Structure 1
Amino acid sequence: MLKYAGLHPHSKSKLLTLYHYVNCFFFVFLLVLAIMEVAAARSDIFRAIEGLSSVLFMIYTSCRYALNYHHKPDLAHLLQSQSRFWKIEDFEGRVRADCERMMEVTSRFIRYYKNYAVVLAAVFYVQPFIFHELQMKIYVPEGWFYYLYLVYWYMTPPLFSSVYGVTSMFCALAVPVTVQFKLLANEFENLKMRRRGSEEVGRLVDYHNFLIEYCEKINAHSSGVFLFEFFITVSVCCILMFIASQDSYPLVNKIKYTGFIISQFIDTAIYCYNCELISEASENVGKAIYNSPWYETDRSDIRRTVAFIISRTQKRVVFNGYQLVRVDMQTFTRIFKATLSFVSYLNTVALTEKK
């Protein structure tokens, strides 16, 4: 999916730069038309709100596209660094079974998620024929309907790849890190201090440092996506839920917007859940060291190293959007509550104005 949008680091075609500029032009073009729709709404509050949701969605997708295109070298480095990961086949017992099951479930989920995105893209293509209007509420000059439909037809791969493709890639980056923290915790917990010297402990410490740095690079690569994911989910879902809750609104549009709301919450939940998994797995490394037989060694350097790692793991690996938004399941709960609160407030205001 990322290759179709020119966002994958292995996409090195000479026409890629031109393709990128054409995409950016159409992103801006559709954003301008969405802003014009809001300006043209005037006294039609529902039309203005729909236009505003289109403005926010175009800002969201265009920024995600631009950020991921800019960070292609970082993504290439992250994928290349995975060659240093420990192989699951080299381990035995319960930890191997748990890690293999996690990788299998993730692979299956990404496959289903990709198919889900393909279905949504197909629906996106045929929306003008089903709902007799363009996929998003934008200003349509007289006689431009079919031309704008062709623009949406062309922009569907970049639009969906910048959302669903990038989210799938984040899963492909995050879950293997979680697995590596589990393997490292297993190594520390089963470490025989009397038989292993400081070199073996140092090797594990170096690998722990590598995983911490890898998580920091993931955060640097995805900070912009995290930030936009938070604000757009709250704002767009709040607007669309308010529209869908109105009795006078067409049922067909309610179904369309309900699907988008569910899709957006699923996308946000994927980021929050994977970040939470990494944070918990990194914290469990410290617990594994504490449960290891570190007391069996009389060497002061090994004991100091163990104490240092335990103190370091007490500070969890945390993902955030430019230090403004923390990404975990607690944040997802807050997003859901904030969206419902805003919708309730808007419904109260609308009811008061009717009276």
Structure 2
Amino acid sequence: MLKSAGLHPYTKLKIVKFFYHHYLNLFFFIFLLFLAILEVGVSVKCDIYRAIEALSSVLFMTLTLFRYVVNYRNKPSLAWLLEKRSNFWLLEHFEGQIRTDCAKIMHTSSNFIRNYKNYAIVLAAVFYVQPFIFHELQMKIYVPEGWFYYLYLVYWYMTPPLFVSVYGVTSMFCAICIPVTIQFKLLAHRIQNLDFKSEKFQRDLKHLVDYHNFLIDYCTRINRYSNGVLLFEFFITISVCCILIFIAANDYPFVDKIKYAGFIVSQFLDTAIFCYNCELISDASENVGKAAYDSLWYESESKIRRSLILIIVRAQKKVTFSGYGLVRINMMTFTQVFKATLSFTSYLNTVTVDEKMLNN
């Protein structure tokens, strides 16, 4: 998906590089965002509900533009993350329950990413045909007289960058995080089953400590690659879903309610994927320290025990993800996003009801 819009570091398709040039994409992103902002200004005095719809278009275009720019700039970071995955331990080298558990996680996540990609393709197809079915553009923007079909062509051209900037980036984040979660589980398994009486123990312990440091550094790089998206995701999800729930709950055509309900589900699902994967890695990294504590450390020498204590202390500081250190991303954050969205929506509905009563 990322390769189709030029956001993958290993994009080699010449047709993609020709049609989806970075500066051309930026121009159309900013152009559509400008028209959406213009529609808000034009509609706010005559049709407040249309202005609210246009405001949701502004927020959506801002989200996709920001994601596109951040991920285009971070292509070298993504290349590093993909390259260093060659250092991961292979699941085939493990036996028993740990291999079964990790294989199940990998299989489930692969199916989820595949279904999520298919879901995005279906939405993109609906996005393409919407003007033919409903005789209006995909999002509420200002349409100068005689510009409808020209703007439809612009949307047709921008559909791959729009959807890849949202669904492709989210899928890539999931595909990066799941293997790291599995690597922490494998590391915990090896630490817990260390043979303290083996002649190779010192060498094995050093290798495990080095690998633990490598995984922590890898997670730091993941956060550096995605912290801009994570921060923006937090605020935009609250804003977009608040407006869309308000639209779906008021006197709008049923078709619009169905369309915006789909956007609401998509946006919440998108945020949940980020939060859930960050939570998985945090829990798996913390379990490394628990595995060291549950090992047969009491059978080792005092010098070795001090090394294990360092592993436990290092693992007690959970790997966490945040948006530039301002917003910590985990499942608690997703709960806060959901609560904040409902609170703001309730406030908007209250203000609207009071305004209608005053007008009457």
TM-score, normalized by length of structure 2? 0.96
In the alignment of these two chains, the number of paired residues is 353
Q: Which amino acid aligns with 1:352?
A: D
Q: Out of 350, 353, 360, which is 1:351 matched to?
A: 353
Whether the 8 Å contact between 1:131 and 1:252 is mirrored in structure 2 is no
Residue 275 of structure 1 pairs with residue 278 of structure 2: yes
Q: Which amino acid aligns with 2:17?
A: L
Work out the CA distance in 1 between the residues paired with 2:257 and 2:109. 32
**Match in the other structure for 1:331:** 333
Deviations 1:123-168 (A, max 9, x none): 0001112222100000000000010000000000000111111111
Alignment of 1:85-96 (within 5 A): 85-96=88-99
Residue 35 of structure 1 pairs with residue 37 of structure 2: yes
**Match in the other structure for 1:134:** 137
Q: Which amino acid aligns with 1:93?
A: G
Residue 197 of structure 1 pairs with residue 214 of structure 2: no
**Identical pairs, percent:** 67
Deviations 1:2-43 (A, max 9, x none): 011000111146773871111010001001100100110123
Alignment of 1:1-355 (within 5 A): 1-12=1-12, 16=17, 19-41=21-43, 42-195=45-198, 196-246=200-250, 248-300=251-303, 302-355=304-357
| Displacement of 1:299 | 4.1
Whether the 8 Å contact between 2:195 and 2:201 is mirrored in structure 1 is no
Work out the CA distance in 2 between the residues paired with 1:183 and 1:175. 13
Deviations 1:63-100 (A, max 9, x none): 10011010001100100000000000000000000011
Work out the CA distance in 2 between the residues paired with 1:235 and 1:113. 23
Work out the CA distance in 2 between the residues paired with 1:103 and 1:48. 44
| Displacement of 1:197 | 2.7
Whether the 8 Å contact between 1:34 and 1:55 is mirrored in structure 2 is yes
Q: Secondary structure of 2:241's partner?
A: helix
Work out the CA distance in 2 between the residues paired with 1:286 and 1:43. 61
Work out the CA distance in 2 between the residues paired with 1:245 and 1:68. 34
Whether the 8 Å contact between 2:74 and 2:225 is mirrored in structure 1 is yes
Q: Which amino acid aligns with 1:2?
A: L
Whether the 8 Å contact between 1:184 and 1:208 is mirrored in structure 2 is yes
How well do the aligned residues superpose, as a CA RMSD in angstroms? Answer: 1.2
Q: Which amino acid aligns with 2:172?
A: M
Work out the CA distance in 1 between the residues paired with 2:301 and 2:117. 54
- Which deviates further from its counterpart, 11-20 or 161-170? 11-20
Work out the CA distance in 2 between the residues paired with 1:243 and 1:161. 26
Structure 1 spans left out of the alignment, 5+ residues: none
Q: Which amino acid aligns with 2:7?
A: L
Deviations 1:149-196 (A, max 9, x none): 000000000001111111111111000000000000000010111214
Work out the CA distance in 1 between the residues paired with 2:296 and 2:32. 62
Q: Secondary structure of 1:4's partner?
A: helix
Q: Which amino acid aligns with 2:334?
A: F
Work out the CA distance in 2 between the residues paired with 1:108 and 1:244. 31
Work out the CA distance in 2 between the residues paired with 1:202 and 1:139. 63
Work out the CA distance in 1 between the residues paired with 2:239 and 2:196. 54
Work out the CA distance in 2 between the residues paired with 1:207 and 1:73. 23
Work out the CA distance in 2 between the residues paired with 1:58 and 1:93. 48
Q: Which amino acid aligns with 1:165?
A: G
